[in-house]
Structure 1
Amino acid sequence: MKLIPLALIALTLPGFALAQDEMDTNHARHFIHQDTPQLNEGGQSAFAAIQEITAALMANPATNWSTVDVEALRRHLIDMDNVTLRADVATEEIDRGARFVVTSTDLGTVASIRAMVPAHVATMNGVEGWAMQAEEVEGGAIMTVTGSDTARIRGLGFIGLMTVGMHHQAHHMALASGQNPHDH
């Protein structure tokens, strides 16, 4: 007799599991449709930047899809990540500024340094009254920045100086649109 109730329970478990799955699915649908705050973060910064540019391209009826190259933006964001997180930076205080020796032993990071540092200097030279120079060295590049506000240059340091100017968003759109903003 004791076997019959256990057998009945065993036979009803698959049905219970299916009902539970259906409840979970309905709960997920309900949650998605609830009034929730506007969510903006794509979950990872490079992904979010690509998502933002892709949405802008898709919203623009004048987008020339034959020139769009979102992969170029992805490669640039890899360079940004390498320079930001993987490059070694040695800072030397010089008269009216600083000299930043940016290097790596990783060949991919070296390539990223050599792509980004000269391009940034070409874009930002003269901005904020700063004189900027770049040169390639073994394992990377040197960025030299001088100006009247020495404390600010030194306080920002290499990575702070790389972030100055709201040109990055336009730069990203140009890359994804198939333009090469590094050609001058």
Structure 2
Amino acid sequence: MKILLTSFFAWIALATVAASQHAHSDHTDMGGKQNLVLSQPGQGAFAAIAEITQVLRDDPSTDWSKVNITALREHLIDMDLVAKDASVVASPTPQGASFVITGDGRTRQAMITMVPAHAPFLAAETGWDVVVEETDSGVTMHVSGDATQIAALGFIGLMTIGAHHQEHHLMMARGGDVH
């Protein structure tokens, strides 16, 4: 509930700023209507694809015969499913935690694809031991290192560690291997 309220108030603040900027703007088009200068496309996956598309279009060396925005879109859907639809049960261990991550259908497939692929990045970035095992309903991830930090971050926080996501997305869009 706290996150929902924080998000709501952040949205209201942004809308108020945007409205006040619009109200004080003297930018007009040829028809006399005011033009808004917008910067956010409204949704995270769309924003990531828009950013990558612009980078590709700005790069004269882009090999358009290899570009695969559909693969990037599928990966971003996987990220969304793992973040929003996966069920996670965390069990503390003396050195860290074990996370049982489960889901059905497309969510399960997203977990099986993403969690093992992310484990080496998490281990390299932190120096922690990370072991992932596939199960009938998803995956189990065991993380040993700084137990307090691991517990505080939880599964989804751990999945964000390592500044490789943007580079990975660009490589994928250029037609490289997904994982």
Q: Same-fold call, TM > 0.5?
A: yes
Cα distance, 1:75 vs structure 2: 0.2
| TM-score, scaled relative to structure 1 | 0.77
Q: Which residue of 2 aligns with 1:31?
A: 34
Q: Which residue of 1 aligns with 2:168?
A: 171
Amino acid in structure 1 at the alignment position of 2:34: F
Q: How does 1:16-165 map to 2 (within 5 A)?
A: 26-27=31-32, 30-32=33-35, 36=37, 39-104=38-103, 106-147=104-145, 149-165=146-162
Question: Identity of aligned pairs, percent?
Answer: 45
| TM-score, scaled relative to structure 2 | 0.79
Cα distance, 1:168 vs structure 2: 0.5
Greater CA radius of gyration, 1 or 2? 1
Unpaired runs of at least 5, structure 2: 1-29
8 A Cα contact 2:125 2:161, kept in partner: no
Q: What RMSD over aligned residues (CA atoms) do the two structures have, in Å?
A: 1.5
Unpaired runs of at least 5, structure 1: 1-24
8 A Cα contact 1:125 1:133, kept in partner: no
Give the match's secondary structure for 1:26.
coil
Give the match's secondary structure for 1:166.
coil
8 A Cα contact 2:143 2:150, kept in partner: yes
8 A Cα contact 1:93 1:99, kept in partner: yes
Cα distance, 1:181 vs structure 2: 4.8
